[in-house]
Structure 1
Amino acid sequence: MPVNIDMLTLSPKAHEATLVQGDHYRFTVLTEQLIRIEYSEQGVFEDRATQSIINRHFPIPEFEVIRKEGLLEIITKHLHLYYTYGPFSKSSLRIDVKNNYSLYSNRWYYGDAFETLKGTVRTLDHQDGAVELEEGIQSHNGFSVIDDSKSSILVDEETIVPRVHDQIDFYFFAYGREYKDALRDFYKLTGVTPLLPRYILGNWWSRYWKYTETEYKELFQRFQKEDVPFSLSVIDMDWHMVDIPEKYGSGWTGYTWNKELFPDPTRFLEWLKEQELRVTLNVHPADGVRAHEEMYVPMAKELGIDYNAEHPISFDITDKKFRDAYFKYLHRPEEERGVSFWWLDWQQGTTTKVAGLDPLWLLNHYHALDQVKQGKRPLILSRYAGIGSHRYPVGFSGDTIITWDSLRFQPFFTSTATNVGYTWWSHDIGGHYKGYKDDELSLRWMQFGVFSPIMRLHSTNSPFNGKEPWRFQEGIGDIMKQYLRLRHELIPYLYTMNWRTHQNNHPLIMPMYYEYPMENNAYDAPHQYFFGSELIVIPVTEKLDYDLQKAPVDVWLPEGQWIDFFSGRIYTGGKKLRVFRGLDTIPVFAKEGAIVPMAKHVSHSNSVDNPTALSILVFPGKSNAFELYEDDGESFAYQDGKYAVTKMQLDWENQKFVFFPAEGDRSVIPENRELNISFKGFTDMKKIAVRMDGQEIDFVNSYNRETNTCTVKIMNYDTRSMLEIMLLDEVLIQEFNQYEEAIFDLLNKAQISFELKDMLYQLIKQGKNKFDLLIELRTMKIDENLYDAILENLID
């Protein structure tokens, strides 16, 4: 039976009107910028779906076909294809792309290499730093190619077969620098990204460690005591029997609980559920099922295997009979008693008995399909298996080495994966193994994790390698706890971006050039990225400058004003600059008018439900609107309209903020909410009026000068009502004129001579204009980082 879920809905046959065909060639004009190109000596062309491509039923675009003696031309608004017939070659097939990004790089000949802005790669296993990435669909020169010639055929959701004939089958993208349009049509071609369950966006606890049930409970009781929230428990391979009789082989693959560690698995899973934790278990399926497993006999009987002889049940995901038993006996019983999804770890290799068919892709596909059949949103944790893998989130990036070089690569790696639509990478935050102990590195990695798609702490089975905050220096451990709480506070914003990724093809993470394609600086900032529609994030990947007790970060801010998410300080964009951050913060910038809905922190709670108390951050500068999306967080009921959207709007010109009545199915959200609306980067506004449905109501107003934040608190907001906050002061925006105070703080913390501190501070206090002050500072030949840190506090 076909599954009516977007990620698996197959519409592979193109409109006849889009086909331009001969005996051995076929061109399909899918859009004015996307063309399928096929060649077959047998004259056989493929109209079924493939592993990568599931939809070719696009609206008929405008194009022109010209046939001359010995020449076929296809012309659209964006490309011009020339084909002189015969087998494809450089001399028989070329495409001119209609752009002027380069004097010489807008023509493609068949077989030519092409440059893209890269995509992603199967795994970062065992890597220490940067790796070479596969090609993506986005190109600085405006065109790229997906080669689908070798992928297997998806006859229907269940049936995958190899191609019978050798064929050339690829897709030419000619989207120029319209990157978001290219990604939109890529998703249309390859399938949408599923809507993730809400709990996935919280903190995950993962450690390769042989816990006992008692130890595990004590760990999470300690987390609760320390007020550190988690939404997901990831139990690595030692949940199952590992030390098995030698005659059965390795214990790497297993499905039977280790009763010495977990005497009553049902009781243990129920306890985790009581703590509001979901569970995933790690599995390595490659070795199949051996005779020591509890489910071996019934499974062997069903598959006709001599269980008395203890013949192993071989892993063969291509075989439907095995596959049905695999889910029936190995996975469904654990899901029924509390396992939410599976971590499909390595060890399958890259071959199956079907030539060219990757077992990793098959596992990802069939596990997702099995969950859909059960009425669950498709969800796994598994490695990337090629184009189309975004249909099977979440991605496990592998076992990385614990070094600064590994951390430096991950922000670029994460954002660049968007170029193949793969937006939900989960890294081993803090690194997996080897490397060295460095508390500062662990903190910076965790801060990146909070502002990455999935926040999964992880470490290997060394007694010295764990990510519990109390393992680190006291100050660093406290900061870690703050950021882990922040991640849960961000879930309303993250879940809305999850919806936008699914519904509007607007990924959570995007490289800078997606919004600024014509800005060269956008391509020279690989370490920074958009984090949803409102924020830019630049993770700290360098150690502290010891003298300054701050780390340097090179930043490019586009034109306009950008407000520091943490401090409320306003920066004028249109330039590159070096900023400095202490251990407690990283550069996160909100756009003008940004609205970031967050959950108010609830102490000692793991809940990620739609919150009864919201904290809304509002930043100055421009009018803007944000629509908060909420549903039940887990089911497919949203497809039947069971979701609510709450619009929030900053009307900058009229100096008011409006919270509109929730629209849609309000049963999924609380009837009443506490609202804490924080205007960050504003002056201390004394004149404020608050109206609900036109009637003035009571509120509490407070101001935090350290973060330039004015907070309006409404205790009992009816979600059916319209709330208006009128900002009646004349000056709303906070001008950064406190540089003397900021530089004092910088110098006070700096580990430099008192004489130099006094000399610099006296110079600052003289009241010279900033330009003259900078010139004089430069003549003093002070340390470059110290000069740049002072510069950051002087520039507008």
Structure 2
Amino acid sequence: MKYVPMVKKLTYVLIFFLFFDQASAQQSSWKEIYPGVWKLTVGNPEAISLLKAAGTEPNVEAIKKLPRTIFPLNQEDISTEVVDGKTYLRFPLDRGEAIYGLGLNFKTHNQRGRILDLHVDHYGGRDDGRTHAPVPFYVSSNGYGVLVDVARYITTYVGTGVRTDTKNPPVLRDRNTDKQWEALPYSDGIEMMASAKGLDIYVFEGPTPLKAVQRFNLFNGGGYLPPKWGLGFTQRVPTLYSDQDILKEVKEFEDHDFPLDFIGVEPGWHSMAYPCTFEWDQGRFPDPKGFIETLDEKGVKANLWMNPYVSPIGSLYPKVKPLSGTHTVWNGIVPDFTLPEVQSIFKEHFNTHHLDIGVSGYKIDEVDGFDRWLWPDVAKFPSGLSGEQMRQIYGLLVQKLTADWFKEKNQRTYGLVRASNAGGSTFPYVIYNDYYSHKDFITALINSGFIGMLWTPEVRSSGNAEDWLRRMQSVCFSPMAMLNAWADGTKPWSFPEVEDQVREVSYLRMQLLPYIYTAFAHYAFEGIPPFRPMQLEEGFYNIEEKEDGKLDATANPYAMAQLKEIKYQYMMGEYLLVAPMFAGETTRKVVLPPGKWYDFYTGELAGEGEVIEIEPGLDKIPLFVKDGGIIPMIPKRRQAPGKEEKLPLEIRHYGGKEATYNLYDDDGTSFDFEQGAHSWTSFKIVKHPKKGLQGTMSKPQKNKPFSYDRKVTWKFMTNSN
């Protein structure tokens, strides 16, 4: 018998496994699964992924309505490989190409030249990939998007590594003599690595960045349409407030004539929090049902804080313990929400104690990080998932679970969450955190528009009245107008010297509800972010390049502005440009896109395709409307309109251009709109040869919801007749 030495045996084994691993990298070809959406499967994808956890269905009909071109990348320049249980990806990157997205970043927009470790975590002050929504999706200034669907941490090199076999090597320079020497030479690729033996890649054509983002959002089911009350004002009360404390606070809002649509009830409503019982504290809330009913009589909804970790003293504990992970969080067990049995147990408990008595939504806390208090990556779960996989999808799982409960009751909800990921656009949640930089809040709000998320810059406290007002102005032009007083009990009127200005901007938000609600309808039906970056606006995404490789700011005056990052201004809806001010500032620059733009408050021309410097004063947040902009508004009111109300409607027009605006409406609370119970009413501005600009309104659709008087007031803000 011939014996093979042990060294040779090991060599044969290694060769076999290397061959097997390389074989697993043999990928399928790109397949167009929906119009303008291509999929490539690499290796052997895992049983769970981000999109599988989200469980949403694409809005195929809406995707079909988007313009078509061709596959936006050179397929030969895309490389994939599975080696040693890891998947390596490489995508091409042109000179001058800007890359946006890759998670909820707080300081930067253009991610080119950055290294990111996409990892669900509490944001720690650096744009390093560890964030509340590390969505592995990027959109290019060239007008396409790429999604990597895997429930793993993904290390991403965005134009930072130069391969020896590159087709486009950087210029070789001598640092001793060449002033143009670069520490970061030009790289023509984006490279990613995930610890998985396979994954799915999706490419979304544009042909513009906005169209690519739309296609991505619609692929995930579209954006969420909140109930009308969710777009009003919310106050989150101190953590140990009782039912009587909260009712007293509601009365104070009435006395101060301040808007209020829903109250955030913080951890003290639980019989134990950190971890949670999800059961009412009988001392502070002896009659939960009566409390909720009393709030409802005052037109106020209740939103309950929670984290999903089950306390040993709660009635859920013995039912869920065998179905939970190997590690605890604050002595609470971590339920495996991928298991149908766990989903059923939670559904029964939450319906009985919350939804059936009228609770309107949740604030889902602590599903993001930090590492030292969440379960470690060595944790295991009954479903077989690792701690790493569960970390990436846990926020998605809790959002889906709770959203489904309300959907089954045909009741829309709106709440807060600390972690999300790809596929989360259709969930009724806005991301928030404990970080408190006002400027970075605005950068995050802008970045959320790249990745199919909503982010809110909440108000908590301030050192002075100016900062307080500036923060309140920003939240009133965000997805959720929120004051979070859980720690210090602040009120909108905590700084009396600016109480009137705070009230005024909060009422302005209420007046704009028809406009904001329509913007969210476009998010739901068309995938257009209701709050979107300037880089998605026409004219901001084309960077022209000269033969010497330098950017041509003459061919595109926004090229340099794009590279410098327009971080503190954004679009709200179709026509409105928001440019927040920050404490200590008296002036600021605003980059106006191509075309004429007008001051929202006066209707005066502000500029045309240029950078302007403004000095707006303290009282108002700077707002600009594009030429032809139509803004529908209602009278000032404290709460969102009810189901049967009919409201006066003012239609404002700015500039001199003819225009059309389609106003959306439905019952404001249910999902009946998905079955056709909604309306689009057209408002047109046309220029009459003798009479100047004239407004016309289409007849409201028969047997469709329409919450406004049929006789509207037309207001031409710019003297152009």
Q: Using the alignment, how far apart are the partners of 1:631 and 1:119 within structure 2?
A: 42
For residues 702-727 of structure 1, give each alpha carbon's deviation from its aligned partner in whole angstroms, at most 9, with x where no partner exists: xxxxxxxxxxxxxxxxxxxxxxxxxx
Equivalent residues of 2:230, 2:413 under 8 A apart: no
Q: 1:675 aligns with which of 666, 687, 712?
A: 712
Equivalent residues of 2:533, 2:570 under 8 A apart: yes
Identify if the C-alpha distance between structure 1 residues 387 and 203 changes in structure 2 by more than 3 Å, giving closer, same or farther.
Answer: same
The 5 Å alignment of 1:347-358 reads 349=374, 353=381, 354-355=385-386, 356-358=389-391
Give the drift of 1:681: 2.7
Q: Secondary structure at the match of 1:629?
A: strand
Give the drift of 1:46: 10
Identify if the C-alpha distance between structure 1 residues 443 and 95 changes in structure 2 by more than 3 Å, giving closer, same or farther.
Answer: closer
The 5 Å alignment of 1:294-305 reads 295=315
The 5 Å alignment of 1:247-258 reads 252-258=275-281
Q: Secondary structure at the match of 1:412?
A: helix
Query: Residue 695 of structure 2 corresponds to which residue in structure 1?
Result: 658
Query: Residue 643 of structure 1 corresponds to which residue in structure 2?
Result: 678
Q: Which runs of 5+ in 2 are unaligned?
A: 1-22, 64-68, 100-109, 154-194, 324-330, 369-373, 543-557
Instruction: Name the amino acid aligned to 1:197.
Output: P
Pairing 1:453–2:479 present = yes
Query: Residue 185 of structure 1 corresponds to which residue in structure 2?
Result: 215
For residues 449-483 of structure 1, give each alpha carbon's deviation from its aligned partner in whole angstroms, at most 9, with x where no partner exists: 11111111113423xx51x2331032x11100111
Please tell me the root mean square deviation across aligned C-alpha atoms, in Å: 4.1
Identify if the C-alpha distance between structure 1 residues 138 and 285 changes in structure 2 by more than 3 Å, giving closer, same or farther.
Answer: same
Give the drift of 1:268: 1.3
Give the drift of 1:254: 2.9
Q: Using the alignment, how far apart are the partners of 1:461 and 1:450 within structure 2?
A: 21
Q: Secondary structure at the match of 1:572?
A: strand
Query: Residue 147 of structure 1 corresponds to which residue in structure 2?
Result: 148
For residues 470-526 of structure 1, give each alpha carbon's deviation from its aligned partner in whole angstroms, at most 9, with x where no partner exists: 31032x111001111111111111111111000011111111121222232355322
Query: Residue 29 of structure 2 corresponds to which residue in structure 1?
Result: 27
Equivalent residues of 1:537, 1:587 under 8 A apart: yes
Q: Using the alignment, how far apart are the partners of 1:442 and 1:192 within structure 2?
A: 34
Give the aligned length.
590
The 5 Å alignment of 1:446-525 reads 446-462=472-488, 466=490, 468-474=491-497, 476-515=498-537, 516=539, 517-518=541-542, 519-520=558-559, 521-522=561-562, 524-525=565-566
Q: Secondary structure at the match of 1:27?
A: coil
Q: Secondary structure at the match of 2:29?
A: strand
Query: Residue 51 of structure 1 corresponds to which residue in structure 2?
Result: 53
Equivalent residues of 2:590, 2:614 under 8 A apart: yes
Q: 1:586 aligns with which of 617, 621, 640?
A: 621
Give the drift of 1:252: 4.1
Instruction: Name the amino acid aligned to 1:663.
Output: P
Q: Using the alignment, how far apart are the partners of 1:201 and 1:117 within structure 2?
A: 35
Give the drift of 1:38: 3.0
Give the drift of 1:528: 0.8
Q: Using the alignment, how far apart are the partners of 2:512 and 2:208 within structure 1?
A: 30
Q: Using the alignment, how far apart are the partners of 1:386 and 1:120 within structure 2?
A: 14
Q: 2:361 aligns with which of 327, 336, 341?
A: 341
Q: 1:281 aligns with which of 304, 307, 311?
A: 304
Query: Residue 345 of structure 2 corresponds to which residue in structure 1?
Result: 325
For residues 406-433 of structure 1, give each alpha carbon's deviation from its aligned partner in whole angstroms, at most 9, with x where no partner exists: 10111121111111111x2233x2247x
Segment of structure 1 superposing worse, 337-346 or 659-668 = 659-668
Instruction: Name the amino acid aligned to 2:147.
Output: I
Give the drift of 1:628: 0.9
Q: Using the alignment, how far apart are the partners of 2:426 and 2:337 within structure 1?
A: 19
Pairing 1:441–2:471 present = no
Q: Using the alignment, how far apart are the partners of 1:125 and 1:43 within structure 2?
A: 27
Instruction: Name the amino acid aligned to 2:481.
Output: M
Pairing 1:417–2:448 present = yes
The 5 Å alignment of 1:164-179 reads 166-171=196-201, 173=203, 175=205, 178-179=208-209
Identify if the C-alpha distance between structure 1 residues 347 and 142 changes in structure 2 by more than 3 Å, giving closer, same or farther.
Answer: closer
Pairing 1:259–2:315 present = no
Give the drift of 1:23: 9.2
Q: Secondary structure at the match of 2:606?
A: strand
Pairing 1:36–2:39 present = yes
Pairing 1:626–2:652 present = no
Give the drift of 1:568: 2.6
Give the drift of 1:667: 5.2
For residues 153-194 of structure 1, give each alpha carbon's deviation from its aligned partner in whole angstroms, at most 9, with x where no partner exists: xxxxxxxxxxxx953324263747711221132124333223
Higher RCO (Cα < 8 Å, 6 or more apart): 2
Identify if the C-alpha distance between structure 1 residues 130 and 46 changes in structure 2 by more than 3 Å, giving closer, same or farther.
Answer: closer
Q: Using the alignment, how far apart are the partners of 2:53 and 2:111 within structure 1?
A: 23
Segment of structure 1 superposing worse, 205-214 or 614-623 = 205-214
Q: 2:459 aligns with which of 411, 430, 434?
A: 430
Query: Residue 549 of structure 2 corresponds to which residue in structure 1?
Result: none
Per the normalisation by structure 2, the TM-score is 0.72
Q: Using the alignment, how far apart are the partners of 1:126 and 1:397 within structure 2?
A: 10
Q: Using the alignment, how far apart are the partners of 1:665 and 1:594 within structure 2?
A: 27
Pairing 1:138–2:171 present = no
Q: Secondary structure at the match of 1:37?
A: strand
Equivalent residues of 1:631, 1:638 under 8 A apart: yes
Q: Using the alignment, how far apart are the partners of 1:672 and 1:58 within structure 2?
A: 35
Give the drift of 1:592: 1.0
Equivalent residues of 1:130, 1:409 under 8 A apart: no
Equivalent residues of 2:630, 2:654 under 8 A apart: yes
For residues 253-276 of structure 1, give each alpha carbon's deviation from its aligned partner in whole angstroms, at most 9, with x where no partner exists: 132322332332222111110111
Instruction: Name the amino acid aligned to 2:635.
Output: K
Q: Secondary structure at the match of 2:244?
A: helix
Query: Residue 633 of structure 2 corresponds to which residue in structure 1?
Result: 598
Bigger radius of gyration among the two: 1
Give the drift of 1:321: 2.3
For residues 126-160 of structure 1, give each alpha carbon's deviation from its aligned partner in whole angstroms, at most 9, with x where no partner exists: 756877675642123666643224469xxxxxxxx
Per the normalisation by structure 1, the TM-score is 0.66
Give the drift of 1:236: 0.8
Query: Residue 81 of structure 1 corresponds to which residue in structure 2?
Result: 75
Give the drift of 1:588: 0.5
Q: Using the alignment, how far apart are the partners of 1:417 and 1:616 within structure 2?
A: 29
Q: Using the alignment, how far apart are the partners of 2:222 and 2:445 within structure 1?
A: 19
Identify if the C-alpha distance between structure 1 residues 346 and 559 changes in structure 2 by more than 3 Å, giving closer, same or farther.
Answer: same
Q: Using the alignment, how far apart are the partners of 2:81 and 2:319 within structure 1?
A: 51
